[in-house]
Chain A
Amino acid sequence: MAAKLLLALVAVLSAVIVNHIAKIISAAGVLKHVYNHVPGTCRLVPGVEQGSEDIALTSSGLAFISSGLLPPGFILDPVYYTFEQKMLVFDFKNPAEGAKEIKIVLASGEDFMPHGLSVYEDDSGEVRLFVVNHGKGHRDSVEIFRFDAASNSLHHLKSVKHPLLYSLNDVVATGPETFYATNDKYTTGLYSRMAETWLLLPWSNVVYYSDGEAAIVADGLMYANGINISPDGRFVYVANPTTGVVIVYHRQDDNTLTFSHDITLHTGVDNIYVDATTGDLWVGAHQKPIQFSVHMQNASYPCGSQVLRIQDPATENPRVTEMYSDDGQAGLWGSSAACYLNKQLLIGTVNHRLMHCTVDVPL
């Protein structure tokens, strides 16, 4: 009797393990083959070699780019520790000028390691930039800057810290000092974060911050990574690279989120850019996250890049088009962000280079 019970237990356990392994294989993209294609003429933007993890665009065509990120939770090749953290700006109206460093005016002694970005513009004409900042010792905050075009500098306005902002990845501004942010993991230690990933623990969440208060508005996510909002503010999009899905939420009047639907993409979706005119989503993704992990440990190991465009994301029938795909041979490794304006596409990577493409295909 006891032996039969044991056998049954073993059978159930092995089924659970096999199922888990299948999920990991799918999430890691191990069995995927990546094909190469470009939407037009592509060239690497000179001088950007230490990452361009997120890109946020202003209404005048200026793209802010975060650079020098050491993503928490990865075993990193020592060479990445030599990277300099900075903010860059790329002008879509003058693409030939490439990306320039922006001067950051921060209180002295502040650590600065920028990650996710969001631009906030209102009728006052002021351009604000919200930046996820990883301070040393796992102290995360959202820094709010005012952009001064004349001096090409970011003036620090406020540093938002809160106990519920503890493992930040991306942010999307909803007001001059309010925002949604993603906590991509629950723990902060390197190995505990890796365990959260490999054990597929759904401990990631989305938080809303306003006026000193913060609340969890979406919970039980596998990996809340990039976050953005529809032009009318009614839908919030969250990228989940582990499940390969963009989650679409309804935004309620009280700023809470209710689940609407998933857009299944079967790829490691990272950051989401929303086209202000069409509402299209442009997603930077890692086709084979396992390759990306290896690239984190070994800086000379190539990994692929992918950009997907999603039309009608808030409807029941989103249309997905692959705008760019590369297995690493083009020299752009680990795409995490894509920004589109006026037949030009800018593709950012977690800690590699930045690519500019013309878009010569019909949209």
Chain B
Amino acid sequence: MPGEKMASKLLMLFVPLAAFLFQRLFQPSLQFGDHRETVYNHVPGTCRPVEGVVHGSEDIVRTRDGLAFISTGLIASPVFNPDPWYLQRKGKILLFNLKNPEDGVRELKIEPREKYEDLQPHGLGLYENQAGEIRLFVVNHLKDGERVEIFRYVRPEGKLKLIRSVQDPLLYSVNDVVAMGTDAFFATNDHYCRAPWAKKLERFLGPAWSNVVYYNGSVASVAADGFSVANSVVTPPSGEVVYVSDSLQQDVKVFRPRPDHSLELQSVIHLFTGVDNLNICPDTGDLWVAAHPSVTDIFKHIQDRRHLAPSQVLRIQDPAGASPEVTELYANDGRQLNGSSAAVVYNRRLLIGTVHDTLLYCDVTVPL
């Protein structure tokens, strides 16, 4: 009899505890801080989808004079069972001139041909110098390993010529890249693990093993770590501050680079949403942030493209200062735009990219 009493007492304790742990681990919306129910639609002006973009526009970067480079055809993350529609995609780089939005997008030729065939583009970085040279840094997910491809943009023909294809043991789960020179860059490794099942576990258990690395032209080193999912990295032209978004910690961290290019944490901007890619306005230093209000829904959207995933674009003024000001420029429950992942603004024109949906162009008529 005493044994039974003991057993039933343990059960009474164990059952609610197990229920709690089960909920915590497998109720991702709670863990990820999803807030789909309170995503209210609004636009900053007239918005319309850009024709011809159907396989996503995961990252966007723009030159000082409004030339936007867009990565499309992102390979569906093997962590999920992706919707078969995504298998039809082809990795490309598109060009959109924010000075002439009516021209829409056009595909950029890539040389050499083999590089074009293999391209699985993800994050982008841009190098622009006073002489007018433009280099595009592209995160490329090749089967035999991650690369950061450095292209030179050849203006008249509208093509990208490969200059270097960077490989390094410390580039193993690359998401985004920011150019720090003709051959140098910071890059984010969004996970530590490489196997799809391990990445899933990494997200649930949250060991915070994601990091940012610096490549100096010949070798990479870890610049900062302790991120849950370091997604995007950007700097202003001066390079005196480095911003890194963390999708799971729902924030943007502000760093000061040391002489050895390691990063010292200065401040954290909490955004309470699944932050994706960052962009900086070169004139004002404002941050343009695209986010997923519901990380669970963008995951489901990857498995079934009919499943709606909300979108959000935030603007942060004075991001490196004491009181950054956050404004929501765009929000949608998924009916107009699914899974926003990048945003750029040029001259009251907003371009919003998505992981696997289309590309949205908006005229901004609200005060900026």
Contacts and interface: CB of A to CB of B under 8 A. Distances in A.
Interface of A: 7, 31-33, 35-41, 266-267, 287, 308, 319-323, 325, 329, 360-362
A38 B43 contact: no
Contact of A33 (B12, B35, B41, B331): B35
A31 B29 CA distance: 13
Interface of B: 12, 35, 37-38, 40-46, 272-273, 312, 314, 325-329, 331, 365-367
A360 B71 CA distance: 32
A239 B337 CA distance: 29
A313 to B, nearest CB: 15
A32 B42 contact: no
Given A35-B328, A36-B327, A322-B331, A362 B38 contact: no
Given A33-B35, A35-B326, A35-B328, A321 B366 contact: no
Nearest to B47: A362
B367 A37 contact: no
B61 to A, nearest CB: 25
Given A35-B326, A36-B327, A37-B327, A360 B38 contact: no
Given A35-B314, A321-B42, A266 B37 contact: yes
Contacts of B46: 362
A361 B366 contact: yes
Contact of A360 (B40, B273, B327, B365): B365
30 contacts: A32-B38, A35-B326, A35-B327, A35-B331, A36-B327, A37-B44, A37-B328, A37-B329, A38-B366, A39-B366, A40-B367, A41-B367, A267-B38, A320-B41, A321-B40, A321-B41, A321-B42, A322-B40, A322-B42, A325-B328, A360-B45, A360-B365, A360-B366, A360-B367, A361-B44, A361-B365, A361-B366, A362-B45, A362-B46, A362-B365
A322 B41 contact: yes
A32 B327 CA distance: 16
A36 to B, nearest CB: 5
Given A33-B272, A40-B367, A361-B365, A266 B45 contact: no
Contacts of A32: 35, 38
Contacts of B329: 37
A37 B312 CA distance: 12
Contacts of B42: 37, 321-323, 361
B366 A40 contact: yes
B274 to A, nearest CB: 12
Contacts of B312: 35
B161 to A, nearest CB: 42
Contacts, number: 62
A9 B155 CA distance: 76
Interface of chain B, helix or strand or loop or mixed? mixed
Contacts of A39: 366
Nearest to A36: B327
A329 B322 CA distance: 16
A207 to B, nearest CB: 32
Contacts of B331: 35, 322
Contact of B366 (A33, A35, A37, A329): A37
Contacts of B35: 31-33
A125 to B, nearest CB: 38
The 10 closest A-B pairs by CB, nearest first: A322-B40, A35-B328, A33-B272, A360-B365, A37-B328, A322-B42, A266-B37, A321-B41, A362-B46, A36-B327
Given A35-B326, A35-B328, A325 B40 contact: yes
Contacts of B365: 40, 360-362
A121 to B, nearest CB: 32
Contacts of A33: 35, 272-273
A323 B331 CA distance: 11
Contacts of A7: 12
A132 B89 CA distance: 62
A310 to B, nearest CB: 11
Contacts of A362: 43, 45-46, 365
Given A36-B327, A321-B40, 4 more contacts: A39-B366, A322-B40, A360-B365, A361-B43
A361 B367 CA distance: 10
Contacts of B43: 361-362
A361 B40 CA distance: 15
A40 B325 CA distance: 17
A8 to B, nearest CB: 12
Nearest to A40: B366
Nearest to B42: A322
A346 B164 CA distance: 58
Contacts of A37: 42, 44, 327-329, 366
Contacts of B38: 32, 266-267, 287
Contacts of B314: 35
Contacts of A329: 325
A41 B367 CA distance: 7
A320 B365 CA distance: 20
A308 B38 CA distance: 12
A308 B40 contact: yes
Contact of A36 (B37, B273, B326): B326
Contacts of B45: 360-362
A325 B39 CA distance: 12
A31 B34 CA distance: 11
B295 to A, nearest CB: 15
